[in-house]
Amino acid sequence: MKALLLNADVGESFGSWVMGLDHEVMPYVDLANVACGFHASDPDVMRRTVALARQYGVRVGAHPAYPDLVGFGRRSLACSAEEIENMVLYQVGALAGIARAEGVELDYVKPHGALYNDMIREPATLSAVMRAVVAFDTRLPLMVMATRDTSPARELGEQHGASLWFEAFADRAYDGEGRLVSRREPGAVHHDREVIVDQARRIATGKPLTASDGSDLMLSADTLCVHGDNPESIASVKAIRHALDGLVQSS
């Protein structure tokens, strides 16, 4: 069993508007997906978040999105492939500059929200994001969704020379293809801590999940996304960290 890296979306406050419990979640994760200003965050929040990650020895990744502050980046926008490539470059470059000022280097890129989901549905969007990451730094892995069949993403990655990390979610329901059930659907987000920890254990140990259509779903992942935006989710993150550390020690 390989160790799953825990990642969390952080740095999503904006001005006086505070979102998330970054100080609470940071001690328990390996990777910090830092918002880059298009769906959330601002330069002050970005720098404070990078400094917090450095304090806890957490690796920093860029979390670019569509330019959609009002919709929190969860709405698909009609952007050309060139626009997507350039907006990702812009955001990654901004965070890289702030990180360097804090003595930190970027470790990876994880797109946010609708852009992340569009990458799975639209090969042209995924290709545009890959081109941006490779143009910025060929060493940076791009985080993409672990689905039932990851071969299309792997093939595109080989074409573009992009390194990929596959990501799974402990607190989200999956459909039969291994894609996330829309947040608009009932049961799309798990809230029961036992269910969330059990899903994390299953992904870590290569056991099947039950998809929304009742089928068995196997996901092969390098990293597991956790959320820390309320006290209950922080408790779940702690429980997942404890469970995964226990699995590694016993393997």
Could you tell me the CATH number of the domain that includes residue 67? 3.20.20.370
One-letter identity of residue 147 = T
pTM: 0.95
Q: Which residue segment(s) compose the domain that 61 sits in?
A: 5-250
Whole-number Å distance between alpha carbons of 231 and 180? 23
Whole-number Å distance between alpha carbons of 164 and 57? 22
Whole-number Å distance between alpha carbons of 27 and 20? 14
The angle formed by the CA atoms of residues 241, 247 and 248, to the nearest 5 degrees, is: 90
How many Cα atoms are found within 13 Å in the side-chain-facing hemisphere of 20? 22
Checking DSSP bridges between strand 5-10 and strand 31-35, what pairing results, if any? parallel
Per-residue pLDDT at 1: 55
Whole-number Å distance between alpha carbons of 218 and 163? 22
How far is CA 230 from its chain centroid? 18
Per-residue pLDDT at 155: 98
Per-residue pLDDT at 229: 83
Q: Number of folded domains in the chain?
A: 1
Ranges of residues in the chain whose predicted pLDDT is under 50: none
